[in-house]
Structure 1
Amino acid sequence: MVVKTAALATLLAVTASAWTVPSNLQTFYNNVKNGGCKSYAGGKSNLNDGQGHSGFGFCTDTANVVYLTGKNSLGDMDIDCDGASNCGGLSGDWQAGTSFDDILVSKKYGVKTLDASIHQFSVLGTCNLNLEGLISPLALVAVVCNNQLFYSVWGDTNGCDDNNFTGEASISLAQLCFPNEGLNGNKGHTAHDVLYLAFTGSDAVVGPSNANWKTKSASDFQNSLKTFGDSILTKKFGSTVPPTNPGNPGSGTCEWVGHCAGATCKTNDDCDGDLECKGGVCGGSSGSTTPPPATCSWAGHCAGASCKSHDDCSDDLTCENGKCA
């Protein structure tokens, strides 16, 4: 896997349909985005995010799923370029294989290893935390990012050189999630607002016939995961999956995927339709009276969050009278 210091030139962002987040999955996201997990895989709740923040772990509170969480947030998204192509041969920390290549070959998936530029995969587990007792290799992982849903597979793990880092995905998944952030091997998505929802059970494994593994297109691979992903999400999570809709749930339609309400922005031109850029986030229209929520690079540790010391606060905020300010 590639850590945040790997050298990698900017890649062209891939494009594919984004799936609307089902209402009960959105409710789950809202309920867990500020932490609150009680049971962690392996009893480990002090893993690192790769940005110097600890307190992360894989939560097992909810039946049929395991998800990455922090004390007061979800995960970030570092970039993985391991596998077949080395993201164009530009990574300085590339490994030629991914964690479950033996299964890809023995089960006749048609590929010898995953390609981070084509296959959307999530990186779960660390050097000191093996999740294979909870999640099957190549299991489906639903990823809620930037107010959208994408499907991925559990395709790699963090090695011992990464100091128990969490929150990582293949470059193709990262660029689908955040197409306007210019993500590459040197730049991951640092906000802790990504839900990696891995499904348990052997029936959640994305098999050779459940996706187009041989495709050369990242968008084709994502689209090929849709049918199986919807079926597992409904079976395991009880979601009523809406039809394909690259829109923003709860706010009508959004025609510019990645630029809907909640997407990061610099100017109004970065936002879909009549949405305005407020506080670095695409928010309401010019007639809206409700400002978008304040943002910072460490969700749950922004201005107003409870704290005990300056280290509990994001960015340049300090702890004043028990509150980040």
Structure 2
Amino acid sequence: MFLQSTIVISFLAAHVLAWTVPANLQTFYNNVKNGGCKSYAGGKSNLNDGQGHSGFGFCTDTANVVYLSGKNSLGDMDIDCDGASNCGGLSGDWQAGTSFDDILTSKGYGIQTLDASIHQFSVLGTCNLNLQGTISPLALVAVVCNNQLLYSVWGDTNGCDDNNFTGEASISLAQLCFPNEGLNGNKGHEAHDVLYLAFTGSDAVVGPSNANWKARSPSDFQNSLKSFGDSILTKKFGSTVPPSDPGTGTCSWVGHCAGASCSTHNDCDGDLECKSGICGGSGGTTPPQTCSWVGHCAGASCKSNDDCSDDLECKGGVCSASSGGGTSPPATCSWVGHCAGASCRSHDDCSDDLECRNGICT
């Protein structure tokens, strides 16, 4: 909902990462902004942007995605504070829940509702346009804003009190997109330059293990979406996103940067080498993974020993060295898949007090 509070909300944590927009996604963005949609969900192309402008709709003319489009324009970004915290209790137009709370509570997400101050979510659909037959609840939504890429989930819908408004996002997403605009409950981003790209299919749903739903900061939640977001973007749209963390260096071949899986040196960008199935720097900077089943090495999440490579065992939900080996990563870790031994690109990819060293959480 577009809120009436006049108090500026500021809660962004340090070390926020924004992701580089891959070339083909940037081309798509430019084409949508400069062209017109050919097919709208429900045949509705005259929805409102909340600022008195009509002519918007959710476009279905591209395989695997649904996106908000206007007449030679994209969406704006109004502010939603619904959910757990009411953006710090400042909103006078607030609902205590979000649209898919029944899924969150029944499917093991570990939370009762979304928190707009923590979770990046997009608001899709309106009172008179139900998108659930086209997009699955909690589906991944890639958001191109301010020349950067961020990931979000489809977490809420617009009710009938908002006159079929479109172009709305949680306040945490809005402030990550436009950190210098002083966005708050009474001030949204009015320019029509935001691409909301929602992915279709059940495989695009951000599940309980695909993000850190108990994150304590917007940056923590955004970082936790990165891996799943990249995989869906690659699968559905043919793009992978290079890391923009300056600590990882530059990479000219998207999807083949440090940390990417590989079979030979030819699969890795520039001077990177393929060692143990992972692209890394030469001269001893490649992540020291000796594991024949990439993705199931020490630190990977698991349910049984069969989920772990070689002689590794599943301990506390994490693939670890067998008993007596003395090299097991800690079995207690609050962010499964990001424990000791997991691959990483920055400290933010590692759980608790672990740090990213040479591509490995330690």
TM-score (norm 1): 0.74
Query: Does residue 112 in structure 1 map to residue 112 in structure 2?
Result: yes
Distance in 2, matches of 1:168 and 1:43, equals 21
CA contact (8 A) 1:122 1:155 kept: yes
Q: Which amino acid in structure 1 is aligned with residue 137 of structure 2?
A: P
The 5 A counterparts of 1:19-58 are 19-58=19-58
The 5 A counterparts of 1:88-167 are 88-167=88-167
Shift of residue 243 of structure 1? 2.5
Shift of residue 13 of structure 1? 4.9
Number of aligned positions between the proteins:
247
1:40 and 1:11, CA in 2 relative to 1: closer, same or farther beyond 3 A?
Answer: same
Distance in 1, matches of 2:30 and 2:226, equals 23
Distance in 1, matches of 2:55 and 2:228, equals 33
User: Match for residue 9 of structure 1?
Assistant: 7
CA contact (8 A) 2:78 2:168 kept: yes
Deviations 1:28-50 (A, max 9, x none): 00111124101000000000000
Query: Does residue 191 in structure 1 map to residue 191 in structure 2?
Result: yes
CA contact (8 A) 2:7 2:185 kept: yes
Distance in 1, matches of 2:156 and 2:126, equals 10
1:158 and 1:44, CA in 2 relative to 1: closer, same or farther beyond 3 A?
Answer: same
Tell me, what secondary structure is at the counterpart of 1:105?
helix
Shift of residue 11 of structure 1? 1.1
User: Structure 2: 5+ residue runs without aligned partners?
Assistant: 253-362
Q: Which amino acid in structure 2 is aligned with residue 113 of structure 1?
A: T
The 5 A counterparts of 1:59-78 are 59-78=59-78
Deviations 1:135-179 (A, max 9, x none): 000000000000000000000000000000000000000000000
Tell me, what secondary structure is at the counterpart of 2:7?
coil
Tell me, what secondary structure is at the counterpart of 1:33?
helix
Tell me, what secondary structure is at the counterpart of 1:93?
coil
CA contact (8 A) 1:18 1:150 kept: yes
Which structure is larger by alpha-carbon Rg, 1 or 2? Answer: 2
The 5 A counterparts of 1:214-293 are 214-245=214-245
1:95 and 1:120, CA in 2 relative to 1: closer, same or farther beyond 3 A?
Answer: same
Tell me, what secondary structure is at the counterpart of 2:233?
helix
User: Match for residue 80 of structure 2?
Assistant: 80
Shift of residue 12 of structure 1? 1.1
Q: Which amino acid in structure 2 is aligned with residue 7 of structure 1?
A: S
Q: Which amino acid in structure 2 is aligned with residue 226 of structure 1?
A: K
Q: Which amino acid in structure 2 is aligned with residue 9 of structure 1?
A: I
Deviations 1:249-291 (A, max 9, x none): xxx9xxxxxxxxxxxxxxxxxxxxxxxxxxxxxxxxxxxxxxx
Distance in 2, matches of 1:165 and 1:75, equals 11
CA contact (8 A) 1:38 1:61 kept: yes
Tell me, what secondary structure is at the counterpart of 2:173?
helix
User: Match for residue 292 of structure 1?
Assistant: none
Distance in 2, matches of 1:35 and 1:197, equals 16
Shift of residue 218 of structure 1? 0.9
Tell me, what secondary structure is at the counterpart of 1:104?
helix
CA contact (8 A) 1:20 1:149 kept: yes
Distance in 2, matches of 1:81 and 1:202, equals 27
Distance in 2, matches of 1:27 and 1:71, equals 18
Q: Which amino acid in structure 2 is aligned with residue 62 of structure 1?
A: T
Percent identity for Structure 1 against Structure 2: 87
Distance in 1, matches of 2:203 and 2:78, equals 28
Shift of residue 104 of structure 1? 0.1
Shift of residue 9 of structure 1? 1.4
Distance in 1, matches of 2:92 and 2:181, equals 21
Tell me, what secondary structure is at the counterpart of 1:190?
strand
User: Greater relative contact order (Cα 8 A, min sep 6): structure 1 or 2?
Assistant: 1
CA contact (8 A) 1:66 1:199 kept: yes
Distance in 2, matches of 1:101 and 1:143, equals 22
User: Match for residue 266 of structure 1?
Assistant: none
1:183 and 1:29, CA in 2 relative to 1: closer, same or farther beyond 3 A?
Answer: same
Query: Does residue 173 in structure 1 map to residue 173 in structure 2?
Result: yes
Q: Which amino acid in structure 2 is aligned with residue 92 of structure 1?
A: G
Distance in 1, matches of 2:6 and 2:157, equals 20
